[in-house]
Homo-oligomer: A and B are copies of this chain.
Amino acid sequence: MGALSVAISVFFVLRLVRVDAGSGKMKEIATYIKEGSDAFLKEEAKIMVVATAFLAALIFFAVGWQNAVSFLAGSLSSALAGYVGLEVSLRANVRTATMALKGGIKPAFSTAYQGGKVMGFFVVGIGLLGIGALYAAFQDPLDMVGYMFGASLMSLLLRVGGGIYTKGADIGSDLVGKVEAGIPEDDPRNPGVIADNVGDNVGDCVGMGADLFETYAVTLITAMLLGYLVKGGTAFEAIPLYVAGGSVIAMLVGSFFVVPSGSRVMNAFYKGLTASALLALVIDYFLVGHFAGLYFAILIGTLVLMAMYAFAEYFTSYEFRPVRRVAERSQTGAALNIITGMANGLKSTVFPVIAVATAVLAVFILNGGLTSSIGNGVYAIAISAVAMMSLVGMVISIDTFGPITDNAGGIAEMAGLPSSVRENVTDVLDSVGNTTKATTKAYAIASAALASLSLFAGFELELPKSMLSQLLVYNPLVLVGMFIGGVVPFAFTALLMDGVGVAAFGIVNEIRRQFKIKGIAEGEVKPDYAACVDITTRVALRELALPALIAAGTPVVVGFVLGPLGLSGYMFGAIVTGFPLAIWMTTGGGAWDNAKKYVESGVYGGKNSEAHKAAVIGDTVGDATKDTAGPAVNPFIKVMVTVSVLFAPIIVLVHLL
C-alpha cells in the first residue's frame, strides 16, 4: 500500500509537470524563489545533520542500535516529506498561475489540487513504506520509538525554522511595502518580496508536509506499540497498518469526488473528504468489523475528523458570525479587532477539546469500560487516532492547495499578469485556503492529542508496576511536574512569537534602508532581494535552537530530577495546555485573516478604509499566531512525549527525587 501510494504520487507528478510552466518572466521569478529556498534549506540542513548525528549517537549508546537506526530513518523521512512538499509546490505554483491566466478558475483549481494530491499520497506512501520496512526488520514496535522521535524532531525544526522565516519575511515586507509605501503585496519593487515568497514555501509547504508526516507516523507507531504492550498480539500490531492501507484505496477513489461546482469551492473538498471517509469506513468494516469496540473507535475517530472541519470552518470562514464580528469591530480601529479576535480564538478552543474529551470517554466506555488500568481502552484510543490520521492524504491535498494558490497569486503579481488573474482566480481560491489551513491545523492538533494520550500510556507501561499505582494526581511529584509541563507550551509559543518579531523587525529596517536608495521605490533599480533573504535565514536559524532544546531537553531534565512520576505529570500538563493553546492560535489567526478578506470584499468601506487598516493589523498578528507559534505546538508535544518514551528505561533507573 505504501508503494501504491508513492506510485500514485509519482503519477500525479508526471501529470503536473506536463502542465505549461508559463512565460520567461514567471520562470525567472520562480527561479529566484527556488534559489532562496534552497539557500535556506541548505543552511538549515547543516544544523540538522549535526543535531541528528549527535542524537543518533546518544540513542545508540543509551537505548540501542535499533532505535538509532529508526531515529535516522524517521528524521530522513520527515525531511524528505518536507522537501518533496517544497519541490512540488514550487512546480505547482507557477503552473497554477499560468492556468489562472489561460483558463480561469477551473484549470487553476485542478492544477493546484494536482499538486496537493502529489504531496498527500507521497506523505502517506513514504510513511507506510518506512514503518512497514522497520516493522519487517525489527518485528518489535519498541524498536520503532526512535522513528517517532526522529520524525517529530525533524518536523519541529522545520516548523519552527520555516515558521519564523515565513512570518518574519511576510510581516516585515507587508509593514513597509503595503502599509508605509502603499505598494501592493508581492510587488517586485519591494526588497522583501522574494524572502516573503521563499517563506511561503519553506514555512507552509515544508513545515506542513513534515508536520503531517510526523503526526501520521507517530499515530501509526503508537497504535502498533500499544498493540504490542497492551494486547500482546501481532494481529493487533498490524491492525493500524491495515486501516491505513485501506484508506489509501478510499482516498484514491475519494479524490475523484473533488470537483468544484457552484460558488463554494470548499464544498468540493467536503465531498471528496466525505466520500473517502465513508469508503474507508466500509473497508474498515471488513478489516476489523469483528471487533465491535474497535470498529466503533474507528467510527468515532472519523466523526472527530469531521467535527474538527466543521468547527474550524465555523470559526474561520467569513460566512459565519465569529469572523464577521471581528470585521465589524474593525470599524472602531485595531484595538477592538484584536480584542474581539483574541476572544474569538480563545472561545474556539472549547468545542475541539470537548469533542476530543467526549470521544475519549466514548471509546473507553465501548472498549472495556472506565477502569483505571491501562488496557483495551488506550489501544482503542490509538486506533481512533489512526482512523483519523489514515485520511491524512486527503487532508494534505486540501491543505497544500492553500499555499500553492497563495504563491500563484504572488507570481501573478510579480510577473505583472493582468490584475483580473489575481482578483477573479487566485484570490478567490486563496480565501478558501485560509479556511483549509485552519481546518488542517485543528485536525492535526486534535489527532495529536489523541496520539499523545495513547503514547503517554505507552510511557506508563514502561514503568515498574509499583510506580504505576503512585501516579496519583495529588502526588507531589506529579503535581509539580504538571505545573511545569503546563507552562512549557506558553514558553515555547512565546519564543516563536518573539522570533517572528525579531525577524520582522530586521526586515522592516532593511527595507526602509533600501527604500531610501534612489530608484528602488520607483521600480527603476532592482532591489537587493538577497539582503532580506539573508536576514530571515539568519534569524530563523538562530531562534531555532532554544525552542528545540526545550522540546527535546526539558523532558530529560525533568525526568532525571523529578523521576518518572514527575515526568508523567509534566507530559500531561503539556498536553492539557498545549492543545487549547494551539487551537486558539491557529483558529484565532485564521479568523483574523478572513476578517480582513471580508472587509476587502467591500463591507465597512472595503479596501483602504479605516476598518481595513485595522483588519490588516489583526491579520498580521494572526500571521504570527497561526503560521508560526500555533502549528509548532503539535510537533513540540510529540517530541516531548516520544523523547520521554525513548529514555523511559534509563529514567526509571536513574533519577534524583
Q: Residues of A at under 8 Å CB distance from B?
A: 171, 175, 179, 328-329, 332-336, 338-340, 342-347, 349-350, 353-354, 356-357, 360-361, 364, 370-372, 374, 377-378, 449, 453, 456-457, 460, 468-480, 482-484, 486-487, 490-491, 493-498, 500-501, 504-505, 508, 568-569, 572-573, 576-577, 579-580, 584, 616-617, 620-621, 624-625, 657
Contact = CB atoms under 8 A, between A and B. Distances in A.
Contact of A484 (B353, B364, B491, B501): B353
A18 to B, nearest CB: 42
Contacts of A580: 486-487, 490, 577
A368 B59 CA distance: 38
B474 A456 contact: yes
A410 B470 CA distance: 58
A354 B497 contact: no
Given A342-B621, A347-B491, A580-B486, A474 B372 contact: yes
A476 B573 contact: no
A333 B474 contact: no
Contacts of A479: 360, 453
B584 A483 contact: no
Nearest to A508: B332
Given A343-B497, A370-B477, A498-B347, A621 B335 contact: yes
A505 B572 contact: no
Given A500-B339, A501-B339, A482 B350 contact: no
A342 B179 CA distance: 22
A340 B372 contact: no
Contacts of A480: 357, 360-361
A456 B482 CA distance: 15
**Sorted from nearest, which 9 A-B pairs have the closest CB atoms?**
A346-B494, A335-B620, A343-B497, A347-B494, A486-B576, A353-B487, A343-B498, A372-B475, A364-B476
Contact of A491 (B346, B468, B490, B568): B346
A476 B339 contact: no
22 contacts: A171-B335, A175-B332, A175-B335, A328-B505, A334-B617, A335-B620, A338-B621, A339-B624, A340-B497, A343-B498, A343-B501, A344-B498, A345-B494, A346-B491, A346-B497, A347-B490, A353-B484, A353-B486, A370-B477, A449-B483, A456-B474, A472-B472
Copies in the complex: 2
Given A482-B572, A493-B346, A471 B469 contact: no
A505 B621 contact: no
A472 B471 contact: yes
Contact of A478 (B353, B473, B476, B496): B473
B473 A474 contact: no
Most buried by B among A328, A471, A476: A476
Contact of A573 (B179, B328, B338, B576): B576
A582 B349 CA distance: 17
Contacts of A504: 332, 336, 339
Contacts of A340: 497-498, 501
Contact of A483 (B343, B360, B486): B360
Contacts of A469: 469, 472
Given A370-B657, A473-B569, A474-B372, A617 B354 contact: no
A38 to B, nearest CB: 28
A334 B334 contact: yes
Contact of A457 (B328, B356, B474): B474
Nearest to A491: B350
Contacts of A569: 473
Contacts of A343: 494-498, 501
A50 B526 CA distance: 72
Contacts of A475: 370, 372
A453 B475 CA distance: 11
Contacts of A477: 370
Contact of A339 (B508, B621, B657): B621
A332 B346 CA distance: 27
Contacts of A568: 473
A340 B476 CA distance: 35
Nearest to A176: B332
A493 B343 CA distance: 7
Contacts of A573: 576
A80 to B, nearest CB: 32
Contacts of A378: 474
Given A483-B353, A501-B329, A501-B336, A490 B584 contact: yes
Contacts of A616: 335
Nearest to A325: B501
Contacts of A617: 333-335, 338, 617
Contact of A346 (B374, B490, B505): B490
Given A338-B617, A343-B494, A354 B487 contact: yes
A491 B624 CA distance: 22
Contacts of A453: 479
Contacts of A491: 346-347, 349-350
Given A336-B504, A453-B479, A473-B478, A487 B372 contact: no
A468 B568 CA distance: 18
A364 B474 CA distance: 12
A520 to B, nearest CB: 19
A220 to B, nearest CB: 22
Given A329-B501, A350-B494, A361-B657, 13 more contacts: A338-B338, A338-B621, A347-B498, A353-B487, A357-B484, A360-B476, A370-B476, A371-B476, A372-B472, A469-B472, A472-B472, A473-B473, A486-B576
